[in-house]
A = this chain, B = another copy of it.
Amino acid sequence: MTQTPLQASVAYAHAHTDAFIEQYKELLRIPSIGADPACRADVRCAADWIAAEMVRLGLDHVQVLETEGQPAVYGDWLHAGPEAPTVLLYAHYDVQPVDPLALWVTPPFEPDVREGKLYARGAVDDKSGVFLHLKALESVLNATGKLPINAKIIFEGEEESGSPTMEPFIRAHRDLLNADAVVISDGGSSTEIPEIGASVRGIVTAEVHVKGPDRDLHSGGFGGVVHNPTHMVARIIAALHDDEGRIQIPGFYDAVLPVSESARAWIEAEEPNAIEEARKEVGTKPFWGVPGYSYLERATAQPTCDVNGIFGGYQGSGTKTVLPAEAGFKVSMRLVNNQEPADIAAKFLAFVERFTCETVDIEARIISSGWPAEFVTTGPIAQAAIDAYAPTWGHAPKMSRGGGSVPIVGMFQHVLGAPVVSLGLGHGGGVHSPNEYYNLSYFDKNVDTAIHFYFNLVRG
């Protein structure tokens, strides 16, 4: 009985599982922390490793492309003919910092297998996205001599830093990256049921510094006559919300649309489970939020404005009666549907500007931003992704509407104008935490999912 190309590809992958996992450890050993200037050479080393692997696979136009930040790796295989779709496969090879290092059972860049789990920083977020696509492509190419689709592959090196220089990069390489759809493989699942992304919130982060006297003063000598910068910081933060949590930045909600039908249905279905999961993370205190919305509506479909840190003056034990020279705060705002990062950034800066006075200097600056985005979840390309899981997992994937932000999604949508589909590969836990691990019992399933997805794109 002759195997189909799909069957042959899957058989090839399964025959090489052990070799693939050994090779994966090579990539995991490279400490490609994109946010750490000390790892700059390691990030480059990871990019080179990936490019060499692409060449070995027989991809064309393989290149390590410079950005204003960390390099991106590109390769393509465009010989499937004009009838086949062209898809841009995206993952990122940079990883989160490893602090607190002391909590790791084994060093984060010395991959270690314990009880079927492969422990290493980046094992699921997101070297798995990089490596599983490479191994799926290799399996199809080696088993069948070709791909069913035209594939462009772009692997980013600064996603964990908020992709600060990727928007101009995509704009500059618009033709190279242009595709019928973009496939985001960032992270994976942590439960028995695979997940597929439906939406992410946008983001604007900012920092505000309030400067008073030239140096810290004695609160006895100058209390009452010198404006205290911590008081101004508190005034600004307190004015950000009303007593029930509504954001008071003028015009902040202007572009927020009513929750869509599909989001509403998802929220209603997922609400009980989401609350139960969140309860495990948060502790025992009641949840909080603007009245009139459900838990998941607040967590995924409403915008937020959260101070991430406040600082100023003496923070040690006991008392130091100082009137601080300076104080400040950091803030992240999560955006939904029609809110535009540039518009919200301008409104935040205008809001802070209102507090201008002669007795302290107030400096506000935007640090990073990203668009809110809806993934495409209907139509043939989305269906190809959805149907890629059941054959090996035994389950259709759950939709996931995320409260977090993946700025690259909005960049692809806005700059390329292409639909963006989520295809999570990898399975594990400890993402952004110590002892990140990949669950090796899912390795075959994850490669299979990618292979099925490629073939699903050309079925019928």
Q: How far is the CB of A267 from chain B (nearest CB, A)?
A: 13
B-contacting residues, A293-319, CB 8 Å: 295, 298-299, 302-315, 318-319
8 Å CB contact of A217 from B213, B281, B288? B281
Q: Is A81 engaged at the interface, CB distance under 8 Å to the other chain?
A: no
8 Å CB contact of A403 from B212, B220, B282? B220
Complex CA gap A203/B324 in Å reads: 18
Q: Is A171 engaged at the interface, CB distance under 8 Å to the other chain?
A: no
Q: Is A92 engaged at the interface, CB distance under 8 Å to the other chain?
A: no
Nearest B residue to A205 via CB reads B319
Complex CA gap A285/B210 in Å reads: 13
Contacts of A311 in B (CB 8 A): 310-311, 315
Complex CA gap A449/B308 in Å reads: 57
Contacts of A220 in B (CB 8 A): 201, 203, 332, 334, 402-405
- B225, A299: Cβ atoms closer than 8 Å: yes
Contacts of A324 in B (CB 8 A): 307-309
Contacts of A329 in B (CB 8 A): 230
Complex CA gap A267/B324 in Å reads: 26
Q: Is A414 engaged at the interface, CB distance under 8 Å to the other chain?
A: no
B-contacting residues, A312-355, CB 8 Å: 312-315, 318-324, 327, 329-330, 332, 334
Q: Is A218 engaged at the interface, CB distance under 8 Å to the other chain?
A: yes
Q: Is A67 engaged at the interface, CB distance under 8 Å to the other chain?
A: no
- B403, A304: Cβ atoms closer than 8 Å: no
- A225, B314: Cβ atoms closer than 8 Å: no
Q: Is A291 engaged at the interface, CB distance under 8 Å to the other chain?
A: no
Complex CA gap A218/B402 in Å reads: 12
- A327, B304: Cβ atoms closer than 8 Å: no
B-contacting residues, A259-305, CB 8 Å: 278, 281-283, 285-290, 295, 298-299, 302-305
* Segment of A55-63, A113-121, A231-239 in the binding face: A231-239
- B403, A318: Cβ atoms closer than 8 Å: no
The interface centre, meaning the residue of A222, A311, A327, A367 with most chain B CB atoms within 10 A of its CB, is A222
Q: Is A66 engaged at the interface, CB distance under 8 Å to the other chain?
A: no
Q: How far is the CB of A369 from chain B (nearest CB, A)?
A: 11
Complex CA gap A302/B222 in Å reads: 12
Nearest B residue to A315 via CB reads B311
- A223, B319: Cβ atoms closer than 8 Å: no
- B203, A306: Cβ atoms closer than 8 Å: no
Q: Is A221 engaged at the interface, CB distance under 8 Å to the other chain?
A: yes
Nearest B residue to A402 via CB reads B220
Q: Is A40 engaged at the interface, CB distance under 8 Å to the other chain?
A: no
B-contacting residues, A335-390, CB 8 Å: 358-361, 367-368
Complex CA gap A53/B305 in Å reads: 64
Q: How far is the CB of A326 from chain B (nearest CB, A)?
A: 11
- B319, A162: Cβ atoms closer than 8 Å: yes
- A219, B304: Cβ atoms closer than 8 Å: yes
In the assembled complex, 17 residue pairs joining A and B whose CB atoms fall closer than 8 Å, in A order, are: A203-B220, A223-B334, A224-B299, A224-B403, A225-B289, A225-B298, A226-B282, A226-B288, A233-B234, A234-B236, A285-B361, A307-B324, A308-B319, A309-B322, A319-B330, A319-B332, A320-B330
Q: A226-B285, A234-B235 are known contacts; what are 17 more A-B pairs with Cβ within 8 Å?
A: A212-B285, A217-B282, A218-B432, A220-B334, A221-B299, A223-B334, A231-B306, A234-B310, A238-B238, A285-B359, A286-B358, A287-B359, A306-B321, A307-B312, A309-B324, A310-B327, A321-B405
